């Protein structure tokens, strides 16, 4: 039997996002977001699913805080819906929106849980999209104002702030592939958006610090080790470019190095970000949040097929290579997390790191009120062990958030993919803690992973 004991004070937690769990989209003055518009547009989400009701967390949050208390994890990451606070993105704040989050934060603190607040988890007020959305500097400015108002209200109780969640996903899935809101398919727009998101991160970090002297500020990036599909030079070059687009394009400017030159040259014909914005992006970072699910396997494809000349391997190709896949078709590669943590810590030396999301979707079955999700337990155990090895090697990893507390609205996949450690019956909206919930509760209580 081996025991992997994590450092004292390690912040275990779970994570959620507003649009994925709250529902109540028309209540208490909330304005529409781009995800309301996108999910209601025909053909955009699995079977036309929307976040209208989701897990009804907006009404059932006291039950969910009770679940968190039962879990016993010392931290919880959630996001604030910008359109609840500013229904039109700008103007006067909507008091009931602020009150909702204030109550939630108070209940968490009361339960002894440290809140980690994400300011942008993809639900842009539609009114701002109507004026150009993230491709306009005015949206970055509105984001800083929103950050300031929220911090003024909650900054005496919330210390940990995450400006953005996964800006790569917002830029590329939302504005190049068009499979996420706002559903735009235009490469120059996607690159411009990636830049404006980074600028808005810098402006928001400044605003948060101006409003609260105790704020601890970070950003969450979705990072992956990138593997070439073969040893062929064209596949290798495509993998190198993808590593640049996914990882270095965001890490380098945030850590004060400007954009990576190889990627910049490649993207310049579409959009070349101005150097004058770089100091704004490079605000000191108290911590880096990493969302890790799987490595990316990249192959070269003709430019007529994809302007960037690359594609990810399909699930079938991954399965043929012997990888186990989750219900998302993502390969299960725990060592990828260890390698990623070691690389980030070596190349960027962040003060602190948090895994702000990691977890897996599996086709869970509720049988007599129970869900025996052994595959999720195995996935998490292997990834916790990988994180532990990185900690032992000196990586300043301070906490780990499992995605997700609840089964929820998985964006374009609607409710068809279950990531929760708590099962949600979408008919009755009842919650059923899965086997992984009890398993995780024991890990948290011991602050250790026991194997063997
Ligand atoms: C991440 C998102 C999160 C969730 C997981 C599965 O990209 O940040 O909201 O959808 O994937």
Q: What share of the chain is helix, strand, coil (3-state, %, to 5)?
A: 45, 20, 40
How far is the centre of ligand 1, averaged over its atoms, from the C-alpha of 16 (Å)?
9
Give the Cα separation of 193 and 379 in Å (integer). 34
Best residue among 14, 166, 250 to mutate for probing ligand 1's pocket (most ligand atoms within 8 Å of CB) is 166
pLDDT of residue 328 exceeding 90, the answer is yes
Residues 217-222 have a mean pLDDT of 99
| 166: annotated active-site residue | yes
Ligand 1 atom index nearest CA of 166: 8
Mean pLDDT of the chain: 98
pLDDT at residue 8, rounded to an integer: 98
Structural domains of the chain ordered from first start: 2-451 (3.20.20.80)
Whether this prediction's pTM lies above 0.85 is answered by yes
Question: How far is residue 396 from each of residues 10, 14, 353, measured CA to CA in Å?
Answer: 11, 19, 6
pLDDT of residue 95 exceeding 80, the answer is yes
DSSP state of 47: G
pLDDT of residue 143 exceeding 90, the answer is yes
Query: Over the stretch 32-49, which tens digit does the pLDDT of each residue have?
Result: 999 999 999 999 999 999
SS3 270: coil
Q: How confident is the model at residue 381 (pLDDT cuts 50, 70, 90)?
A: very high
Residues 135-141 have a mean pLDDT of 98
CB burial string 203-233: b at 16+ within 10 A, e below: bbbbbbbebbeebbbbbbbbbbbbbbbeeee
Query: Over the stretch 235-271, which tens digit does the pLDDT of each residue have?
Result: 999 999 999 999 999 999 999 999 999 999 999 999 9
Ligand 1 atom index nearest CA of 359: 6
Q: What angle do CA 74, 103, 57 make, to 5 degrees?
A: 80
Q: How confident is the model at residue 395 (pLDDT cuts 50, 70, 90)?
A: very high
Give the Cα separation of 124 and 77 in Å (integer). 19
DSSP state of 33: B
| 357: annotated active-site residue | yes
Give the binding-site residues of ligand 1, using a 6 Å CB cut-off: 17, 20, 165-166, 169, 222, 291, 357, 403, 410-411, 419
Question: If you compute the radius of gyration of the chain from its CA atoms, what whole number of angstroms results?
Answer: 21
pLDDT at residue 451, rounded to an integer: 82
Written as six digits, the tokens of 435 are 């086997």
pLDDT of residue 1 exceeding 90, the answer is no
């Amino acid at each position: 039997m081996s025991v992997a004991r994590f450092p004292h004070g390690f912040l275990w937690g779970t994570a959620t996002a507003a649009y994925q769990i709250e529902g109540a989209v028309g209540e208490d003055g909330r304005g529409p977001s781009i995800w309301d518009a996108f999910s209601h547009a025909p053909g955009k989400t699995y079977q036309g699913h929307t976040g209208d009701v989701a897990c009804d967390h907006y009404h059932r949050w006291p039950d969910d805080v009770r679940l968190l208390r039962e879990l016993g994890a010392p931290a919880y990451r959630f996001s604030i819906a910008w359109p609840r606070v500013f229904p039109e993105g700008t103007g006067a704040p909507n008091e009931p929106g602020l009150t909702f989050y204030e109550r939630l934060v108070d209940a968490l603190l009361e339960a002894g849980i440290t809140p980690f607040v994400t300011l942008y988890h993809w639900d842009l007020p539609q009114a701002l999209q109507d004026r150009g959305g993230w491709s306009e500097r005015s949206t970055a400015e509105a984001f800083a104002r929103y950050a300031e108002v929220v911090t003024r209200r909650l900054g005496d109780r919330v210390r940990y702030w995450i400006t953005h969640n996964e800006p790569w996903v917002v830029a590329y899935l939302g504005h190049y592939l068009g499979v996420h809101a706002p559903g735009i398919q235009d490469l120059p727009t996607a690159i411009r958006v990636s830049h404006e998101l980074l600028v808005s991160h810098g402006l928001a970090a400044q605003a948060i610090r101006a409003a609260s002297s105790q704020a601890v500020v970070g950003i969450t990036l979705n990072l992956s080790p990138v593997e070439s599909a073969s040893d062929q030079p064209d596949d290798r070059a495509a993998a190198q470019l993808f590593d640049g687009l996914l990882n270095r394009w965001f890490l380098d400017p945030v850590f004060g190095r400007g954009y990576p030159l190889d990627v910049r040259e490649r993207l310049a014909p579409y959009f070349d970000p101005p150097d004058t914005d770089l100091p704004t992006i490079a605000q000191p970072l108290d911590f880096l949040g990493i969302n890790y699910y799987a490595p990316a396997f990249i192959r070269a494809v003709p430019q007529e097929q994809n302007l960037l000349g690359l594609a990810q391997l399909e699930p079938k190709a991954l399965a043929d290579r012997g990888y186990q896949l989750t219900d998302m078709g993502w390969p299960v590669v725990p060592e990828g997390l260890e390698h990623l943590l070691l690389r980030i810590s070596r190349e960027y030396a962040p003060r602190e790191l948090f895994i702000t999301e990691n977890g897996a979707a599996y086709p869970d079955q509720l049988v007599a009120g129970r869900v025996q999700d052994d595959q999720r337990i195995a996935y998490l155990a292997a990834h916790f062990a990988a994180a532990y090895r990185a900690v032992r090697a000196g990586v300043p990893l301070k906490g780990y958030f499992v995605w997700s507390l609840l089964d929820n609205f998985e964006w374009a996949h609607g409710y068809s993919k279950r990531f929760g450690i708590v099962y949600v019956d979408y008919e009755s909206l009842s919650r059923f803690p899965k086997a992984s919930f009890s398993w995780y509760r024991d890990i948290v209580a011991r602050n250790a992973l026991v194997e063997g």
